[in-house]
């Protein structure tokens, strides 16, 4: 099945803010039941996105914008092909064993 995603976040800021820096986790990964066909990210005001992975293998993007600012708009949209895996996710990035998260 092909799924189209449109996710917009409008983050309101204190008026007159001069600079803002953030790391966002809005990018899905491919795995056995999911293929990312198209996935652009957009930040307004316009800025450069610096991609990286966190310690858990999540795809992240860090950015800084300069103002004066009163809001930041984030847009993640794209197309994802999925297939039925009967509820089991396979082929994902797992940096730590599940036992690490059990208490």
Question: Is pLDDT above 90 for 101?
Answer: no
DSSP 99: G
State the pTM of this model.
0.86
pLDDT score of 41 = 97
Residues 94, 57 contacting (CB under 8 angstroms): yes
Across 48-74, average pLDDT: 96
Across 65-74, average pLDDT: 95
Confidence of residue 46 (pLDDT cuts 50, 70, 90): very high
pLDDT score of 11 = 96
Annotation: CATH topology of 2-84 = Immunoglobulin-like (2.60.40)
pLDDT score of 87 = 87
């Amino acid at each position: 099945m092909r799924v189209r995603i449109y996710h917009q976040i409008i983050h309101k800021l204190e008026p007159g803010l001069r600079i803002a820096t953030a790391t966002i986790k809005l990018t899905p990964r491919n795995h056995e039941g999911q293929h990312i066909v198209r996935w652009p990210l957009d930040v307004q005001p316009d800025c450069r996105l610096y991609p990286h992975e966190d310690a858990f293998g999540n795809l992240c993007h860090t950015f800084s914008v300069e103002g004066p600012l009163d809001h930041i708009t984030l847009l993640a949209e794209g197309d994802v092909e999925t297939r039925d895996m009967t509820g089991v996710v396979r082929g994902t990035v797992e940096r730590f064993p599940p036992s690490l998260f059990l208490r």
